[in-house]
Amino acid sequence: MIYPVVEIKLNQIIDNVLKVKKNCEENGVKLTLVTKVLVDHEEIVRPLVENGIDCICESRIRNLISYKDIPAEKWVIREPALCEIEDIVRYSDLSLNSERVTIQALNDEAARQGKVHQILLMYEAGDLREGAGFEELRELYAFALSLPNIKVRGIGTNYSCYGCTIPTVASLNELIGVAEKLEKEFGTKIELISGGNSTTYPLMREGKLPERINTLRIGEGALMGTMVSYGDAIGELYHDNFILKAQIVELKTKPSVPWGEFTNFDSFGTVPHFEDKGLRTRALLNVGKQDVILDALTPLDDKLVIMGASSDYMLIDVTDSDTDYKVGDVISFSLNYAGVLGVMNSACIGKEIIRG
């Protein structure tokens, strides 16, 4: 085995996703699964679809291109950049939008490709990332209805990303109110009302989701069983689906405070702090800040302490461990959402899919 590697427990991921799907269905909600932590791993996404997932959401069109032969509905859940319109129309069925110029460009490209591109209009409900306020959304809706190669499939909003907002019954009812005002004014029926991401899931589980919220775009909650913005986990799901493993390349006992003459900054420009703990036994691992964010990692051996890292090495204090580590041994870490995103996107970290 070559290290570092991320171990991906496929059966546990499938189990999680199917539980989330079932719970969504019991609440009248369509699960649109956000696969972005799986990057472009067709061999992980395909089994999810074979097990019943019928809609996959990605933020990067590059990843959706790798899924082009997977038979599922495909959404781009990042607002399209004007430079990628051709691929968005070619490789996705629907994208999230809040800009007139982009919707026009999608329409024109869809006409060129002989297609109808679907859109979800994004409403700004307070998280202050993507989305338009009501008046602008109303104008966008009228505009989109006039375009022959655009179909407005629904409206949506997003929480818990930039502004740390929480989806509440009041906020979701506001979103429904927007849909109903549009329906009344334009004499239409809005098919989908997409009420957020993983952080809306607990509200749904408590049976408090307003009835017209009929889709949720869920990624982390299903694939990892966690909700990083609540600092919480979903009880009935697996939480250890991604484990990072790196190998010890040096193991020595050294003082805990450096000596010599000093600069003010380390190799990443930060000011380090050293506490004198005397001599400590430290393992150097073959993974570094170039591959992973340190704060995203927790050693599975809870007596290990992450001391720091440079671009290519991580330093672990192994002094208090019950394990007698040697050069060549492997140290394993659980990862939070940011950690999984980082390691899955790193070309220097192997991917080992565990099927058993």
* Enzyme catalytic residues: 36
Q: How far is the CB of 349 from ligand PLP (least distance, A)?
A: 20
Residue number, 74 or 282, with CB nearest to ligand PLP: 74
Q: How far is the CB of 1 from ligand PLP (least distance, A)?
A: 29
Residue number, 220 or 317, with CB nearest to ligand PLP: 220
Residue number, 176 or 249, with CB nearest to ligand PLP: 176
Q: How far is the CB of 34 from ligand PLP (least distance, A)?
A: 4
Residue number, 137 or 284, with CB nearest to ligand PLP: 137
Q: Specify the DSSP element, H or E, that contains 47.
A: helix 42-50
Given the rule CB under 6 A, which residues bind ligand PLP? 34, 36, 77, 96, 158, 197-198, 217-221
* Rounded distance between C-alpha atoms, residue 26 and residue 29, angstroms: 7
* Rounded distance between C-alpha atoms, residue 34 and residue 216, angstroms: 10
Residue 153, Ramachandran bin (φ over 0: left; ψ between -120 and 50: alpha; else beta): alpha
Which one, of 331, 184, 176, lies nearest residue 247 by Cα? 331
In order, the DSSP letters of 173-229 are HHHHHHHHHHHHHHT----EEE--SGGGHHHHHTT-S-TT--EEEESHHHHTSEEGG
Distances from the Cα of 165 to the Cα of 86, 158, 217, 341, angstroms = 33, 9, 16, 22
Q: How far is the CB of 83 from ligand PLP (least distance, A)?
A: 19
Q: Which residue is nearest to ligand PLP (CB)?
A: 219
